[in-house]
Each structure stands twice: as structure tokens, then as C-alpha cells.
Amino acid sequence: MPYNTPQEHYLSALKMGKKDLPSGSSPEQPETLPALDTILENVEIRGEVPLGLIDIPSELIVGTKTRGRMTSFAPNFMPLLNDNSEFAMKWKSLCEAHLHEGIRDPIIAYEYLNRYYVLEGNKRVSVLKYFDAPTIPAYATRIIPAWEDTREIRIYYEFLDFYNETNINYVEFTKEGSFRKLCRLTGHRGRERWSMDDRINFRFCYNNFAEAFEELGGNKLSCTTGDALLSYMYVFGYDSMKNMSSADYKKNLKKVWEEIELNQDDEEPARKTDLKLDPTPDARKNLISQILTGSTGSSSKTIKIAFIHTKSTETSSWTYAHELGRMYVNDTFHGRIQTTAYENNATAADAQTAIEKAIADGNTIIFTTNPIFLSASIKAAVDHPEVKILNCSLNTNHKYIRTYYARMFEAKLLNGVLAGIMTDTNKIGYIADYPITSMPANINAFAIGVKMVNPKAKIYLEWSTLKENQGVDLTEKLYNMGATYISHLDMIVPQHATRRFGLYRVNGETPVNLALPVLDWGKYYERIIRNIIHGTWNTDGKTEGKKAISYFWGMSSGVVDVEWSPAIPAETRNLLETLKRAIMRYDFKPFSGVLHSQEGIIQSDPDSHMSLSDIIAMDWLADNVIGFIPAAKDLMPEVETQIVVRQEGVRKEEDSE
């Protein structure tokens, strides 16, 4: 401060207060501090909790407890009364004490929705805010509002749980689930008490981040420092933040600034993503011309492409399917590309090492084939902007990478129609694996397909990863319940060949396969690679605003199909093919018309259809499904299962319990 005397400081504070008054307010009735008593007049209170002596962040002290002090202070807590008033004399006396020995006496305040209102010590707050004190000691009492199903109250109740675990009151979020996400990113499970060292380490990281964020203009964004911190922490990791300098924070923040801007609103991730439903027209044209000419481009330079897998082809049907895709593109491009598979990367840390090795090996395109590699993919993309990195996942919105997935629910609907026609018991089994994004859409599309032709039939849902199903033969379990037609895995591992895949009929002997949804990763990878070679990759990147890009191709692009058994009656086959063509032309959309969930009506307009963003974010089950969507805590403890579901799980609010 450039002033020396309490009088000079008061005049400066008075000027700041008058400047902060809202336009249109008058000296007689200024619009100043809010009073908590006024705010609570029509609020139902659940109770009060004494918090004891705590440090309150200055910016969270926003008002006074009673109406009596409202007109003495501006909204920024600076004084408004003239400098010869009794109020001014007391303010200047406190200023004198602060300059010489510091203000030590705690104030008395009430907290409501993580904002603090002063009962005793308003002038102390004013002086300390004037001198930019970061925190103010207080004996505080929390006023807890009764539960309401509103976004504000839901987030506040999440904060209460977080506070009980951490005693941290300075982190704020605008999105639901963020407090749980913060606990996961810092290595804490839900309901786990933070130690004093945990709090000190986090405060150190938070303060350093907040300082860099503010210097770069973070206060101009609509998100909070906490919102931005989550985006930053997701990319760079909490452990590495503990050793970062101020310069490191600024440098890294600049790298992910677009990511923070993209995430600053509260839309669902899919709404902030530019979903590409088909290959671009140019890519299709090039595909035909390349097939006819046998050429794959004008450049003679070999392009190196890496595929990062969680497991091996011997142990994972998922890896096997992607490896078939890799071999397909090898054959298709006739030596113009060189691909390498990096297998058995069980964790994100393993993936990060594999990605760095792939980049060091000269690969300029990298496909990470599992959602658990998302964070490692983003970190690598930020550090290596010259490399194109794509992650096989959905429901994400990261600007620095692209994601890809398939609309398998289209094929599942056709399988459901077939099951509804063929069932002889009106009980149909469905075996799912992970309760992650897109799985409810697959299950519900199947259920809708059944209901289209057989309203009386029910789908009995089982999860192969559920703890209680460990060691259980789910096909036998469903058959014993009366289900003679069952939808199971869409992929198999050659070393573990089985007839239990796709839609099959069970009669107590060898299952009879009727239909198999097919996802042709080879065609998918081929078309993405051609997009890159022929420049349509850059065309795709010209999106409105700062949206992320996600390829979400389906039957219309030829990457999703269904293989039918000759055992299916010809008339039924004709019906299925007619419906398939309608889906491919977008003339029929699976989630159209009136939709009922187990809880009630989801969509009441018979002429409407769900948006893709709502389909992706689906967390409900159709009313003809008997079963539930489990949380991560209900699943088997295998590392991959827990990582995938905690990251991509449908029931994220339950996953950290």
C-alpha cells in the first residue's frame, strides 16, 4: 500500500467502496452487503453445525449475518461511511493495530452454501480484506439447508462430504461429481480421511496453481480455479504437481489452456464434442479412387503407426479385434505404412511409457485402444503436438486428442428384434461386461428391438464382471430362469473358442448362433488413416468454437454390421434387412418415439428421437429389462475392471464409495 497513516488507508478504502457500488444505487439506499438473515427468510434449514476455529478464505466472506450492517459496507466489504464518523474511527483504530501488531482476534461467522456471513467482526474483515489477507480466522457455524433436488444443493451436499473428509473449504466446483473426482485424482478413495500431510501437500499445489491460473487470466473464465485444476491435474498428474515450480505451472497451463476453456461450462461432455457420424465425403471419394488405382497417396514416405493395447491377443478378445484391424490396414496399404503393436500395458502409467517409446520409435500416428489410456494419451498429445493421437473411448471432450468408437446400439437393436421374434418363453437373457458409457445404450436398444415385435417379452440382464457372478456360468443361470435366447459377447479369443457369442439359442446342449454384431476395426482404421493421408483430417478439425472431435461411426459407414445365421427364417431375415437399410439411411433411429425406463417415461413425444449426446450419456434401463446398472464397488477387483469403470462408468457418483 502506498499510504502510511490509518487516515490515508481509510480514505483509500472508502474510495474503493464507493467505486464498487452497483450502478443505480443511491447514498441513501445503497445496494451493499447481503444479509444472511434476509437470505434465509424462505429457506428450510436442516440444522446447524459448529465448525470451531477455522481459517476462512477472504473471498468467501461475502456478507453480514444481520441487516444492521448492510449499509456500512460496499459489496467488496470496503467502508461507505464518511471519515469523521464513529465507524471510521473504529476502522482506523483496527488499521493501526493491524499495521503494528496484527489483528489476532477471530471473527464470528455463519457459513451457508460455502459462503460466510459475519456476525461479529465486520470491520476486522474490512481491514483485512483491504490489506489482501488471504484468510481470516473465525469461529464459524454451518447452516445446512434441507435437501432439494437442485444442482446447487446437490453440489453443496457433495462439498459437505468432502469437507468431512478433508476440512478443506477453499476449493469450489461448478460441476457435480467434481469433489469425488478430486479425491480420486489425489489418490484417495471415497470416505477416506485426509491426513495433515495430505492437506499441506494439496494446499501447496493448489496455491501454486491458483497463482499461475490468475496470472494467465483465469479470473476472466466462467469456471472456478477448482474446475481448471481438475483439467490440469488430469493431464499432468497430482504426484508430478508436487515437484513443479511456478514456471512449470505457467508453462503447462499454457499448453492446456484450450482444454480448460473447453471444460468451463457445465454441458455434458458429448455436447461439447463434434461427433463425426460418418467418414467425410472426401474420404469416401478417396477410398474408392484409391481402390481403383491401387494408390494410397502421392508421398513415398512410409508412415509409422503405433497401436497401444492393454493385453495380448492371447488373453483379450478386445485386443484381438483391434489386432485384426491393424493387420487389415497393413495389407490394405501395401507397405505404405508400418504398424507396430505395443501390448500388455495394464495401467495408464504403462501406457504413458509405451506411448513415449512409440514416439521415440518414429510413430507419428498412435491409436490407444482402451479408455483407460485416455489420460496418458492426453498427456502425450500435450507434450508432442506433432503426433496425432487417437483414443478408443466415448463421452470425452479433450481438444488435444481425437476419440473414436462405434454405434453398436444399431446392431443391438436388430439383434433384439430377432430375439423378440424367436423367443419361445418371452424370457431373453443379456450378458454384459462393463457398466460403462455406451453399454446402457446397447442394452436398451436391444430391449427396444424386442419390444417392437414382442411387448410381452422381458430381458434378464446379468453382468459378467459382478462380484456375485464370479465363477458362475451365466448362460446356465439364465437358461435355468427360462431364457432360451441369450445375447452375449460380440468377440471371442481364438485360444478360448466358444459358441457363446452374439445372439444364440440354448437348448441344454451346444448353443446355436443366430446373429453376431460385427465391428470391423480394420475398415475403421483404414478410413481414419486415409483421412490423415489425404488431408480431410484437417477439414474435420475445422469445428465451430473449440469443440473436441470424436468419430462415432455406425452402420452407415460400413464399420458396423450384423452377420445372420442361415437358420433364420427367410421372412424374418427380410424384415431385419429392411430395418437395417432404414438405419443405414437414418430413416429409422433406434431411440425414437415414446420411451419408458424402469423409473418412468423418458421421452413422451411419439414424433421425437433422442439426441446422440443423450444416448451417449444414458444411465437408465428400459422398462422391459429386469436388472440394474452396478457401481464399480460391486464389481470384481481386477485392475482393468476397476480402472475402466471408475473412468468411464455410468454410475460415477457411486464409484468412489
Q: For strands 402-406 and 388-391, give the pairing.
A: parallel
Using pLDDT thresholds of 50, 70 and 90, give the confidence band for residue 536. confident
pLDDT at 548 over 90: no
* Percent of the chain residues past pLDDT 70, beyond the cut: 88
Q: For strands 503-505 and 512-519, give the pairing.
A: antiparallel
Q: Which of 277-281, 429-433, 536-540 has the lowest mean pLDDT?
A: 536-540
Helix axes 521-533, 317-332, angle to 10 degrees: 50
Using pLDDT thresholds of 50, 70 and 90, give the confidence band for residue 292. very low
DSSP 326-344: HHHHHHHTTTSEEEEEE--
Residue type, 544: E
Using pLDDT thresholds of 50, 70 and 90, give the confidence band for residue 143. very high
C-alpha cell at 655: 464409484
Give Rg (Cα) of the chain: 30
How distant, in Å, are the alpha carbons of 245, 503, 596 from that of 2?
30, 79, 68
The pLDDT assigned to 295 comes to 46
The more confidently predicted of residues 632 and 359 is 359
Give the mean model confidence (pLDDT) for residues 191-218: 95
pLDDT at 132 over 90: yes
Average pLDDT score over the chain: 88
Residues 6+ apart with CB under 8 A from 525: 325, 326, 328, 329, 367
> Over the stretch 208-267, which tens digit does the pLDDT of each residue have?
999 999 999 999 999 999 999 999 998 898 999 999 999 999 999 999 998 888 777 655
- What residues are paired with 368 via a beta bridge? 308, 391
Q: Taken in order 160, 165, 167, 171, is the CA torsion positive or negative?
A: negative
Q: Per residue, what are the HEC states of 47-74?
A: EEEEEEEEEEEHHHEEEECCHHHHHHEC
Q: Taken in order 489, 494, 498, 503, is the CA torsion positive or negative?
A: positive
Exposure string of 619-628, with b = 16+ CB inside 10 Å and e = fewer, is ebbbbbbbbe
C-alpha cell at 253: 497451463
- What residues are paired with 397 via a beta bridge? none
Nearest to 383, CA basis, from 403, 401, 404, 367:
401
The more confidently predicted of residues 541 and 90 is 90
Instruction: Note whether 430 and 460 are within 8 A (CB).
Output: yes
Residues 6+ apart with CB under 8 A from 490: 408, 501, 502, 516, 517, 518, 519
Phi and psi of 318, rounded to 5°?
-65, -50
Give the mean model confidence (pLDDT) for residues 456-474: 94
Instruction: Note whether 127 and 91 are within 8 A (CB).
Output: yes
C-alpha cell at 484: 432360451
> Over the stretch 564-584, which tens digit does the pLDDT of each residue have?
999 999 999 999 999 999 999
Burial of 403 (0-12, 13-18, 19+ CB in 10 A): buried
The pLDDT assigned to 392 comes to 94
The pLDDT assigned to 3 comes to 66
pLDDT at 297 over 80: no
The pLDDT assigned to 348 comes to 82
CA atoms of 405 and 425, how far apart (whole Å): 34
The pLDDT assigned to 419 comes to 97
Instruction: Note whether 462 and 469 are within 8 A (CB).
Output: yes
> Over the stretch 14-48, which tens digit does the pLDDT of each residue have?
999 999 887 655 544 446 788 999 999 999 999 99
Strands (E), 374-421: 388-391, 402-406
How distant, in Å, are the alpha carbons of 160, 330, 411, 568 from that of 571?
60, 40, 19, 8
Q: For strands 560-564 and 512-519, give the pairing.
A: antiparallel
Using pLDDT thresholds of 50, 70 and 90, give the confidence band for residue 642. low
pLDDT at 655 over 50: no
Cut 0.85: pTM above it: no
The pLDDT assigned to 141 comes to 98
Q: Which of 22-31, 255-264, 328-337, 469-478 has the lowest mean pLDDT?
A: 22-31
Count H helices, E strands: the chain? 24, 21
Max CA-CA distance within the chain?
Answer: 98
Instruction: Note whether 622 and 447 are within 8 A (CB).
Output: yes
Q: Per residue, what are the HEC states of 477-494?
A: HHHHCCCCEEECECCCCH
CA atoms of 291 and 99, how far apart (whole Å): 81
C-alpha cell at 258: 484450450
* Total residues belonging to the chain: 657
The pLDDT assigned to 646 comes to 66
Residue type, 202: F
pLDDT at 447 over 80: yes
> Over the stretch 402-415, which tens digit does the pLDDT of each residue have?
999 999 999 999 99
Using pLDDT thresholds of 50, 70 and 90, give the confidence band for residue 641. low
Helix (H) / strand (E) element for 142: namely: strand 135-145
The pLDDT assigned to 445 comes to 98
Instruction: Note whether 380 and 391 are within 8 A (CB).
Output: no
Distance linking the first and last C-alpha atoms of the chain? 49
CA atoms of 584 and 130, how far apart (whole Å): 65
pLDDT at 493 over 80: no
Q: For strands 485-487 and 427-432, give the pairing.
A: parallel
CA atoms of 391 and 550, how far apart (whole Å): 9
CA atoms of 215 and 457, how far apart (whole Å): 61
> Over the stretch 111-125, which tens digit does the pLDDT of each residue have?
999 999 999 999 999
Q: Collapse the DSSP code of 273 into the 3-class scheme (helix H, G, I; strand E, B; otherwise coil) and give the result.
A: strand
The pLDDT assigned to 293 comes to 42
Give the mean model confidence (pLDDT) for residues 154-177: 95
The pLDDT assigned to 85 comes to 94
C-alpha cell at 247: 514456471
